[in-house]
Chain A
Amino acid sequence: MARALLRWASFTSLETSSRLPFVQLPWTLNPRATTLAFSSSNDAAAAASASNYIHLSDEQLMAQCDMDTFKASGPGGQHRNKRESAVRLSHRPTGIVAQAVEERSQHKNRAMALTRLRTLLALKVRKPIDLDGYTPPSELLQILPAKSTIRGKDVGPQIGPNNPKFALGMQALLDLIFSVEGSVSETAKILGLSTGALSRLILSDDSLRVTVNELRTSKGMRPLR
Chain B
Amino acid sequence: MTLRFAFPVCSPLAPFLASSLHRRLSIPSRSSSSFSPTPLFSSDHRPPLFLRPPAFAASRTDLHDFRRWAESLALAAGPRLSASDGGPDAALLRRELAWLVEDATVAAASESGVGEELRLRVELEELYRLWKARIEERRPFQYIVGCEHWRDLVLVVKEGVLIPRPETEMVVDLVAEVEGFEKGLWADLGTGSGAIAVGIGRMLQEGGRVFATDLSPVALEVARLNVERYELKDKIELRWGSWFEPLRDVEGKLMGLVSNPPYIPSSHIPGLQAEVGQHEPKLALDGGEAGMDHLLHLCEGSASALKSGGFFAFETNGDEQSEFLADLMSIKLGNFFHNIKMISDFAGIQRFVTGFRR
Interface of A is mostly: loop
A130 at the interface (CB under 8 A from B): no
B-contacting residues, A54-85, CB 8 Å = 67-72, 74-85
Among A1-9, A33-41, A102-110, A152-160, the stretch that binds chain B is A102-110
B346 contacts A75, C-beta separation under 8 Å: no
User: Taking the complex as formed, is B116 at the interface, i.e. its CB lies under 8 A from any CB of chain A?
Assistant: no
When chains A and B are docked, how far (Å) is the Cα of A68 from the Cα of B349?
11
Interface flag for A149 (CB, 8 Å): no
**Residues A80 and B165 in contact in the complex (CB < 8 Å), given A15-B91, A72-B347:** yes
CB < 8 Å neighbour of B345 from A81, A84, A104:
A84
Neighbour of B346 across the interface among A68, A80, A102, CB < 8 A:
A68
Q: How many residue-residue contacts, CB under 8 A, span A and B?
A: 111
A93-107, CB < 8 A from B? 101-107
What is the minimal beta-carbon distance from A115 to any residue of chain B, in angstroms? 15
Known: A83-B166, A105-B169, A108-B152. A76 touches B276 (CB 8 A): no
B91/A69 in contact, CB under 8 A: no
Whether A198 sits at the interface, judged by CB under 8 Å, is: no
A72: chain B residues within 8 A (beta carbon): 347
CB distance A78 to B150 under 8 Å? no
Residues of A within 8 A of B141 (CB): 81-82
Given A80-B276, A85-B166, A105-B169, is A75 in contact with B149 using a C-beta cutoff of 8 Å? no
A87 at interface by CB-CB < 8 Å: yes
Q: Which residues of B contact A87 (CB under 8 A)?
A: 346
Alpha-carbon distance A42/B95, docked complex (angstroms): 47
Using Cβ atoms and an 8 Å threshold, which residues of chain B touch A106? 151, 166, 169, 346
Q: Are A81 and B163 in contact (CB under 8 A)?
A: yes
Given contacts A69-B347, A105-B152, A107-B152, contact A81 B140 (CB under 8 A): yes
CB distance from A187 to the nearest CB of B (A): 34
The reply on B202 being an interface residue by CB < 8 A is no
- Chain B 324-353, CB-CB to A under 8 Å as 1, else 0, gives 000000000000000000000111110100
Q: A9 CB to closest chain B CB, in angstroms?
A: 15
Do A75 and B318 form a contact, CB below 8 Å, given A68-B348, A80-B276? Answer: yes
Most buried by B among A76, A79, A84, A101: A79
Binds A, one of B117-125, B260-268, B300-308: B260-268
Q: Tell me if A78 and B165 are in contact (CB < 8 A).
A: yes
**How does the 8 Å CB contact mask read for B79-95 relative to A, with 1 for contact and 0 for none?**
00000001111111011
Interface size on A, residues (CB 8 A): 30
Question: How close is A33's CB to chain B, nearest CB, in angstroms?
Answer: 24
Smallest CB separation, A93 vs chain B (Å) = 20
Q: Which of B95, B150, B317, B318 contacts A105 (CB 8 A)?
A: B150
Question: With the chains together, A70 CA to B347 CA distance in Å?
Answer: 7
Q: Which residue of B lies closest to A71 (CB)?
A: B347
Q: Are B345 and A78 in contact (CB under 8 A)?
A: no
- The smallest beta-carbon distance between B278 and chain A, in angstroms, is 11
CB <8 Å contact, A76 and B152 = no
What is the CA–CA distance of A81 and B263 in the complex, to the nearest angstrom?
15
Closest to A105 in B: B149
Residue B214 CB within 8 A of the other chain: no
CA distance A105 to B273 in the complex (A): 20
Q: A19-B89, A78-B162, A84-B166 are in contact. Are A101 and B263 (CB under 8 A)?
A: no
Quick one: closest A residue to B199, CB to CB?
Answer: A107
**Is A105 a contact of B151 with CB atoms below 8 Å?**
yes
User: Contact at B347–A78, with CB atoms within 8 Å?
Assistant: no
Q: Is B251 an interface residue (CB 8 A)?
A: no
Q: In the complex, are the beta carbons of A79 and B166 less than 8 A apart?
A: no
Instruction: Point out the residues of chain B lying under 8 angstroms from A67, CB to CB.
Output: 346
User: Which of B140-164 touch A at CB < 8 Å?
Assistant: 140-142, 148-153, 162-163
Cβ-closest chain A residue relative to B151: A107
Residue A135 lies at the interface, judged by CB distance under 8 Å to chain B: no
Q: In the complex, A169 Cα to B167 Cα: how many Å?
A: 36
Residues on B with beta carbons closer than 8 Å to the beta carbon of A78: 162, 165, 260, 262-264, 276, 284-285, 317
Question: Which residues of chain B have C-beta atoms less than 8 A from A108's C-beta?
Answer: 149, 152
Q: Which residues of A sit under 8 angstroms from B165, Cβ to Cβ?
A: 76-78, 80, 82, 84
Q: Is the CB of A79 within 8 A of B276?
A: yes
A61 to B149, CA, bound (A): 24
Given contacts A68-B348, A69-B346, A76-B345, contact A81 B285 (CB under 8 A): no
Top 3 closest pairs, chain A to chain B, by CB:
A104-B149, A81-B275, A106-B166
**A77-B165, A77-B345, A106-B166 given. 18 additional CB < 8 A pairs?**
A15-B94, A70-B347, A72-B347, A76-B165, A76-B347, A76-B351, A77-B315, A78-B262, A79-B268, A80-B276, A81-B87, A81-B275, A82-B141, A82-B165, A83-B166, A84-B347, A105-B151, A106-B151
19 pairs, CB–CB < 8 Å, chain A vs chain B? A67-B346, A68-B346, A69-B347, A71-B347, A71-B348, A76-B347, A76-B349, A77-B168, A77-B263, A77-B315, A78-B162, A79-B264, A79-B272, A79-B273, A79-B317, A80-B165, A81-B276, A82-B165, A105-B153
The chain A residues found within 8 Å of chain B, CB to CB, are 15-16, 19, 67-72, 74-85, 87, 101-108
